[in-house]
Amino acid sequence: MGKPTGFLEYQRQEEAWIPVEERICDFQEFHKHLNEKDRQLQGARCMNCGVPFCQSAMQLKGMVTGCPLHNMIPEWNDEIYHGHYEHALSRLLKTSNFPEFTGRVCPALCEKACICGMNDQPVTVHDNELFLIEKAFAEGWMKPRIPEIRSGKKVAVIGAGPAGLAVADQLNHRGHQVTVFEREDRIGGLLMYGIPNMKLQKEVITRRQELMEAEGVVFKTGCDVGKNVSAKQLQEEYDAVVLCCGAKKARSLAVEDVAETKGIYYAVDFLKSATKDVLEGKKDFKISAKGKHVVVIGGGDTGNDCVGTCIRQGCKSITQLEMMPMPPVERAENNPWPEWPKVLKTDYGQLEAIGVFGADPRIYETTVKKLKTKKGVLTGIQTVKVTFEDRKMKEVAGSEANLPCDLLLVAAGFTGCEEYTPEAFGTPLTQRGVVETKPGHYKTQVSKVFTAGDMHRGQSLVVWAITEGRHCAAEVDEYLMGYTALT
């Protein structure tokens, strides 16, 4: 512990955001990074706890707090404080495959369990991690680590999202020959086409792809296994197959005529289209919010991303509907450490809506009841207030209201994985719509076929997908070799 009194001497200093009026003019990342001296002081705030809850991944009251990857946070915070960045990097990479992803999009479960948070503000673990990996790339420390010995075993990974990439990275470094099949034109899964560019610039994914390719991983895009690529052929050609296709089956609206009405899109399709247009340098978006009254169904991260994207496209108004009640504001009594804080979060998209339109776009305990159309084109919606009794939604009589709406984006979550790839391999699904395995394991009922990520656990966080990928890789390695050296 380099600075025993650091947590007493230095205050938490987060990275600043570019002002709303500036950042909504483009799709670039909008954080301002601290200088090295200030970052070292943030590392000094780490208390080097005897029992570091930040790396625990404990489940308390149904929510996880602490890092699922069990990152050795106190160790590399101490090295950051001392300016020993390469040593810090070596500790970080022991447990984390892609800090450049989690350092941007993870909600920082680690910080919610930080013991500094008992009586003060937690350590800036999330920002420290991103600083460290970005400095490593800038200084040229992230060089290809090519296995000296190859096992002669071949593994096919289906899906190049965070889980598939983690499986591939682990097994390749173990010495197996890994080929990743991705149905889109670029790798990354929801990192590429589900998270907007201003949260995660796509050059970051390309940079990691180039590093993995230099280390021996083969990526094949435009390969839709179960459609234009035969599952049977992969089973015959490879020693193991890992399904990491995500849980992209979007939840629909229980409203009449929703399928026949123009102007309604799933959030994942809207964000994918917007990202493709940004990457191709197009100024006119294929699915555009420009000049439109937009309503987003869903109050989670994806809904927030839709809000930020629509504002950048020039929407006329933006409203975000959330069925659940408004969470309490953040106060000590509402945040009993080290539980995950179930408090109101106002994210970048909502802040931008406040800056542009003067009000938070969210309306709570409300959902869509009816669509208003003209010749099959959406013109507005009727909303209704709702309550929940015994986990069942109930409409509040007489609470109907009308909203203008030219573009309706459905960000209501996902119901599981798309069926055609599991069907091609003959792997059954659970009632939750994910691939069935024994509890705590990743091998399916089908010989030499495994699964990981959202396809295994259901819709979740990027950090959980990477964690699943690492665990699955160890199980695959043991299957191939009779033992495993992967942790």
Q: Are 195 and 300 in contact (CB under 8 A)?
A: no
Compute the CA torsion angle 327, 330, 333, 338 (nearest 10 deg): 100
Q: How confident is the model at residue 1, as a pLDDT?
A: 63
Write down the residue that tokens 């570091």 correspond to. 52
Q: How confident is the model at residue 96, as a pLDDT?
A: 97
CA-CA distance, 366 to 357, in Å (whole number)? 20
pLDDT one-digit tens code per residue, 444-475:
999 999 999 999 999 999 999 999 999 999 99
- Asked if residue 338 has a cis previous peptide bond (ω within 30° of 0), the answer is yes
Half-sphere exposure of 98 (CA within 13 A, CB side): 34
Q: How confident is the model at residue 392, as a pLDDT?
A: 87
pLDDT one-digit tens code per residue, 246-297:
999 999 998 999 989 999 999 999 999 999 999 999 989 999 999 999 999 9
CA-CA distance, 383 to 192, in Å (whole number)? 33
Task: Tell me the residue ranges of DSSP E strands in 298-448.
Answer: 317-322, 362-364, 366-374, 377-389, 392-395, 401-404, 407-410
Say yes or no to pLDDT of 333 above 80: no
CA angle 353, 356, 357 (to 5 degrees): 75
The predicted model scores a pTM of 0.96
DSSP letter string, 43-54: HHT----SS-GG
CA-CA distance, 426 to 451, in Å (whole number)? 13
pLDDT one-digit tens code per residue, 1-49:
668 899 999 999 999 999 999 999 999 999 999 999 999 999 999 998 9
Q: Report the amino acid identity of residue 177.
A: Q
Q: How confident is the model at residue 391, as a pLDDT?
A: 81
CA-CA distance, 461 to 165, in Å (whole number)? 15
Domains of the chain and CATH, by start: 6-139 (1.10.1060.10), 154-248+415-481 (3.50.50.60), 264-410 (3.50.50.60)
CA-CA distance, 257 to 377, in Å (whole number)? 11
- Considering all CA atoms of the chain, what is the largest pairwise distance in Å, rounded to the nearest integer? 71
CB-based burial, 179-192: b 16+ in 10 Å, e otherwise: bbbbbbebbbbbbb
Q: Which is nearest to 319 in space by CA: 199, 400, 407, 195?
A: 407
Task: Tell me the residue ranges of DSSP E strands in 350-432.
Answer: 362-364, 366-374, 377-389, 392-395, 401-404, 407-410
